Structure 1
Amino acid sequence: MLSALFSNIGTTALVILFFGGSIFVHELGHFFAARRRGLKVERFSLGFGPKIWSWRGKDGVEYRISWIPLGGYVALPQLADMQAIEGASETPVEQLPSIDYASKMIVSVAGAAMNVVFAFLLACIIWLIGVPTSSEYTSTRIGYVTPTIENIEGKQVPSPASQAGLQIGDRILSIDGHKLSDWNDIMEALVMSSGISADGRRQAVFTIERDGQPRQITVFPLLSGDEKFRKVGIAPGYELLVHEVTPGTPAAQAGLQKQDEILSLDGVRILHGVSFHEYLRDHAAQPVQALVKRGEAEVALTIPARADAKTDLGVELTTTFALTHPTPWMQLWEHTSTSFRTLWSLINPRSDIGLSKMAGPVGIVRILHSAAESGLRALLMITILINVSLAIFNLLPIPVLDGGHMLFATIARLRGRPIPVNVIASTQSVFMLLLISMVLYVSFFDVRRWSRDRQNSRPPAAEAPAPAPEPATQPAK
């Protein structure tokens, strides 16, 4: 119990370090750029609202940690009037010299630039240490087609993949023209697809390779699962290796050995663990001919019949793993592409992706916590994604964000005179309320997901023991 406590404390500390660090480097970018361009810096704050702790440095800047952990800010009265959000300025803006357009743009973009630099440095670490990757993840082959899937009404219906004619062994090349490199790409392209058929059904065009020939198959995805994502009912195909064989079991009697690769059962190609177990369950009453690859040779084995389909086969399966070293540029490109596709899905009226499916501060902390429990590699990879997403989000031309400052500066430059201070202040306040509302909305669904997943992960409650029977006769008094 003590070790679990210390482990949880360590995990929480890592979450604070990497999440807080991502905010810190962003604000540090603004701070350094502002000092470099000669702007007055009044305050450097991690978080918004009332301060928890503060300290004034010899440079005259107040450094503080504040109560509302929705980001941070560097108070720069010459850049924008943010008093409603950051507090009153110590020096009236009118008494400070104006700054040029270049300084406004450089200081505004510096935060996002620092996030990208931070992400690049973390990506370099991933490049050096590598990422253990399974053939299941790197696959673009279909290894299993589910006969049915559960729709949003909770009913089992024929899976779109089986109805469209997708087959085990098909290699998926693209979905709706988006080229794919691994199974994560496939799931992402499917979830973010927005195709609608002429009769109003959700539609995705799969370009596949079958028997060496490319072909296009139109699939009509269904919304499924707790998050109501588009699904078609497919799973990846991968090398199926024998990990362990229990002595005295049907697998041992058949002669299966560790590291054997399962190729087929009764001539049926097997590319997924579910296919393997389902076939043996459905054909338990008769011997099954298994073809395996052992070393460089193919070996034919016979798995004996079983009187009970539930009899343990006595075999554990796994797949191949390799240590990959994706370059920093490739990592940043993948995360940037994902972020822009997500943004497009949010504004695309035909998409099934809405704000309720996004992660706010609560969701990000939860994701970081899960990654920290998985190990340093996972934590670094998630932090890279967060920093890239943070950079892109902050550069959106929305008031209160860095992109909003750039927008106001550009409008003022184009019109040849400054935008009235009261217009900027009012606009900032309105959009700050909208931003807070959005964060609260997203956080509601973050908490609901967290609560649901915790409930689903709990083991079923044990049945209460039956009450003791009443004695047949009462004892004498």
Structure 2
Amino acid sequence: MNAFFGSVFWLLVTLGVLVTFHEFGHYWVARRCGVKVLRFSVGFGRAIWSRKGRDGCEYQVAAIPLGGYVKMLDAREGDVDPALRDQEFTGKPIWQRIAIVAAGPGFNLLFTVIALWLMFMLGKPDIAPIVTAAPHSLAATAGIRAGDRIEQIDGEDIATWSDAIDTVANATLGRQPLPLTVVDPQGQTRHLILPLQQLAAGQDVGSYIETLGLQLASPPPVAATVVPGQPAARAGLQPGDLIQKVNGQAVVDFQDFSHHVAQQAALDPTLQLQVLRRQQVLQLTVTARKESMEGSPVRWMIGIGSQPAVMATLRYGPFKAFEAALATTWHNTRQSFNLIGKMLSGQASTRNLSGVVGIAQVANSSAQMGLAWFLNFLAMVSLSLAIINLLPIPILDGGHLLYYLIELVKGSPVSERIMLAGQYVGLVLLFTLMGLAFYNDIHRILSS
């Protein structure tokens, strides 16, 4: 399955699962409150599958899979049979109407906790936060050195590279100095400050991370594996050899070694390597050759492999996993509202919005990384759906909740004229946000 079809497939899986769960929340609470549900639809438009239930509800899957809805018996949409008046939505007490509307986002929040709980029990394979800094970057200015392991960011413990980069990415939006605690390869602890205040305003997170220059550290320049029959093996290189120089140029790490090989081999494929083997310095002559491995671009290689990255898998028992799921949900909720607040105040750029194209790409990549990563992705999207739906924008659940809060205060429902005007405003706002997010997705693709 190529990237395009994979992205489309996993997008449909994501929307299908999350929309169904969201709408089931409305449906389930409505039924508990005695409201008659006429239709439960996953998707919009023409039905491609439908079935009538014993309860009289029509269950359907529609052609446009970008959402869904629950249609209830509602006097605002036509005459109601007097025999069914006690099952009509607007005739229910206001607290029941609030519960029905809030149930959709509430079920998305519940799904977030469940997905994270399962993820933590399965264990999400990740990489240890052992980092380096790009030359002349803000991270280098802060004192980050190759091989430093991040232990804490702003007082919070950090266990994986994903934790580290997500925390730093969110902090870049505030552009305030960020405290870090790192431990070097010798075990020495240092306290540093990332000067995020030096980041230019109005950029997206990706640009901030690139400017910051905080990167995963490359493995040391050790020949962890030597492929038989390849140039390195024929030259006498052995597993465990530490490569110190290429054509007299010092080598810092494996990435630096690969860079020197490509640069020097382009001038002359015959390379002089200085290696350290059991405290003995050796000089070896290797003739590099151009190859393509597993469909990757052709490049100069000598046939050695680097040490694998240090892994850090978070895996807990059921009770600890549930505690971690709740803590992660709360942390990400705070971060999401923080981002929304910064975008509304102009502190964070709207370039950070991502739409359906971006979601599809991340859905595909996370699915390829395994079930735990895909559960984490589903949890984050589900939480985003819960938060977005609670925004006080007419047409969203949050807009309806706003109407009911006004009704509680004034003692009577909001007029249909105001509600209709609100629907138009909500549509404009919603399509504006969707258009902006879609533009950002396309801009990111074209710029990459």
User: Which TM bucket (shorter chain)?
Assistant: 0.7 to 0.9
Residues 98-120 of structure 1, C-alpha deviations (whole Å, 9 max, x = no match) = 22233123212222232334344
1:37 aligns to 2:33 (yes or no): yes
The match for 1:24 is 20
Within 5 Å, which residues of 2 pair with 1:327-406?
327-331=321-325, 333-348=327-342, 353-406=348-401
Query: Which range moves more in the overlay, 43-52 or 24-33?
Result: 43-52
TM-score, reference length from structure 2:
0.74
Distance in 2, matches of 1:125 and 1:285, equals 51
Aligned with 1:19: secondary structure?
helix
Deviation at 1:242, TM superposition (A): 4.8
- Taking a change above 3 Å as real, the CA distance of residues 242 and 392 of structure 1, as seen in their structure-2 partners, is farther
RMSD: 4.3
The match for 2:193 is 217
Unaligned runs of 5+ in 2: 265-269, 290-299
The match for 2:57 is 61
Deviation at 1:274, TM superposition (A): 2.0
- Taking a change above 3 Å as real, the CA distance of residues 387 and 203 of structure 1, as seen in their structure-2 partners, is closer
Aligned with 1:396: secondary structure?
coil
Aligned with 1:192: secondary structure?
helix
The match for 1:414 is 409
Higher helix share: 2
- Taking a change above 3 Å as real, the CA distance of residues 301 and 90 of structure 1, as seen in their structure-2 partners, is farther
The match for 2:296 is none
TM-score, reference length from structure 1:
0.70
The match for 1:187 is 165
Residues 209-249 of structure 1, C-alpha deviations (whole Å, 9 max, x = no match) = 46734433342346889953343113224765754213475
Deviation at 1:432, TM superposition (A): 2.4
Within 5 Å, which residues of 2 pair with 1:239-254?
242-247=223-228, 249-250=231-232
Correspondence for 1:228 among 207, 212, 219: 207
AA of the residue aligned to 1:233: G
Unaligned runs of 5+ in 1: 148-157, 197-201, 292-298, 457-477
Query: Which range moves more in the overlay, 223-232 or 377-386?
Result: 223-232
Deviation at 1:35, TM superposition (A): 0.6
Residues 64-90 of structure 1, C-alpha deviations (whole Å, 9 max, x = no match) = 344443311212355xx9x7xxxx456
Distance in 1, matches of 2:235 and 2:200, equals 43
Within 5 Å, which residues of 2 pair with 1:9-408?
15-49=11-45, 51=47, 54-76=50-72, 88-89=77-78, 91=80, 96=88, 98-133=91-126, 137-139=127-129, 141-142=130-131, 144-147=132-135, 158-175=136-153, 180-194=158-172, 204-209=177-182, 212-219=188-195, 220-221=198-199, 227-230=206-209, 231-237=211-217, 242-247=223-228, 249-250=231-232, 256-257=238-239, 260=240, 273-275=254-256, 277=258, 288=274, 290=276, 299-302=278-281, 304=283, 312-317=301-306, 318-321=308-311, 323-326=313-316, 327-331=321-325, 333-348=327-342, 353-408=348-403
Aligned with 1:431: secondary structure?
helix
The total of aligned residue pairs comes to 411
The match for 1:472 is none
Aligned with 1:39: secondary structure?
coil
Aligned with 2:171: secondary structure?
coil
